[in-house]
Amino acid sequence: MSPVVQLESVTKEYGSGASGARAVADVSLSVAEGEFVSVMGPRGCGKSTLLNLIAGLEVPTSGRVLVCGEDLSRLSDKALSDLRLRYLGFIFQSFNLLPRLTVEQNVSWRLGLIGVSGRPARDRTAAVLERMGVPPSTWARYPSELSGGEQQRVAAARALATEPKLLLADEPTGNLDSASGRTMLDLLRSLNLQRRMSVVMATHDSFAGTYGHRTIRLKDGRIVREAGEMERSPAAEGQVLPFRRRGE
């Protein structure tokens, strides 16, 4: 079976010449179905750019990006947005909630795009908002009336509502206190285990980075280290146990 994500020597440069920045530099990466990969590194190392490249929101300067076996550069705009809708969920670092839609509408609108409407959409929206711990008292409010943490949870609910095969999560705990952050991470892990949803999660939080099967470290856009479960720090012991493929 082809990997869910395959990056082949992908480079992304912004601008050119002396003012140019190489946000992602010659990255090759393969994510298997059902795999949970954490991408770590300091601010500015290229994590968000990497996720945007996988989602087809950015076009590589060189190299190829394949998602579910499809070379993104060969898809029309329509085919690319269909693929995004059918297979991908994206929790954006800055949420990207639609400001003129209520919390509930932000989620149900995306369901409408995949043909789920009416009662089934309302039920699914309520279920996913509840699962994400978004209080019902906020469902009729607009994103600007919510705290950062609430917006982050709504963004996650919207991304997960369509039951994506691949979730791209950009700093999904960035606006949450540590208890809610942990709840979010546990939820992502359980969806990964129960539904075999593949996850690529960008984070600069070392605790969040212990979730997942594999951690990739970026520095100045390059992969500097890849750690599998056997190489994890002792601090991560116990947190990753249910996840380990023992004997490897």
Ligand X SMILES: Nc1ncnc2c1ncn2[C@@H]1O[C@H](COP(=O)(O)OP(=O)(O)O)[C@@H](O)[C@H]1O
Smallest distance, Å, CB 173 to ligand X? 14
Question: Within 10 A of 220 (CB to CB), how many other CB atoms are there?
Answer: 15
DSSP state of 242: G
CB 6 within 8 A of CB 66: yes
Binding window for Mg ion (CB under 5 A); candidates: 20-28, 48-56, 110-118, 193-201: 48-56
Q: Which does 14 bind (CB under 5 to 8 A by kind): Mg ion, ligand X, none?
A: ligand X
| 143 to 4, 133, 161: CA distances (angstroms) | 32, 15, 17
Positions in 75-104 near Mg ion (CB under 5 A): 93
Alpha helices in 114-144 (DSSP H): 118-131
Contact positions toward ligand X, by CB under 6 A? 14, 21, 23, 41, 43-49
Question: What is the three-class DSSP state of 89?
Answer: strand
Nearer to ligand X, 139 or 211 (CB): 211
- Tokens standing for residue 48: 């968000």
Alpha helices in the chain (DSSP H): 47-54, 77-87, 103-113, 118-131, 148-161, 178-195
Question: What is the three-class DSSP state of 219?
Answer: strand
User: Of residues 48, 106, 210, 215, which one binds Mg ion by CB under 5 A?
Assistant: 48
Smallest distance, Å, CB 91 to ligand X? 13
Q: Which does 23 bind (CB under 5 to 8 A by kind): ligand X, Mg ion, none?
A: ligand X
Nearer to ligand X, 48 or 210 (CB): 48
Q: Which does 21 bind (CB under 5 to 8 A by kind): ligand X, Mg ion, none?
A: ligand X
Comparing CA positions, the residue from 93, 90, 92, 102 lying closest to residue 144 is 102
Smallest distance, Å, CB 238 to ligand X? 28
Smallest distance, Å, CB 47 to ligand X? 3
Smallest distance, Å, CB 16 to ligand X? 11
Nearer to ligand X, 94 or 105 (CB): 94
Smallest distance, Å, CB 231 to ligand X? 22
φ, ψ for residue 234 (rounded to 5)? -60, -30
Binding site for Mg ion (CB under 5 A): 47-48, 93
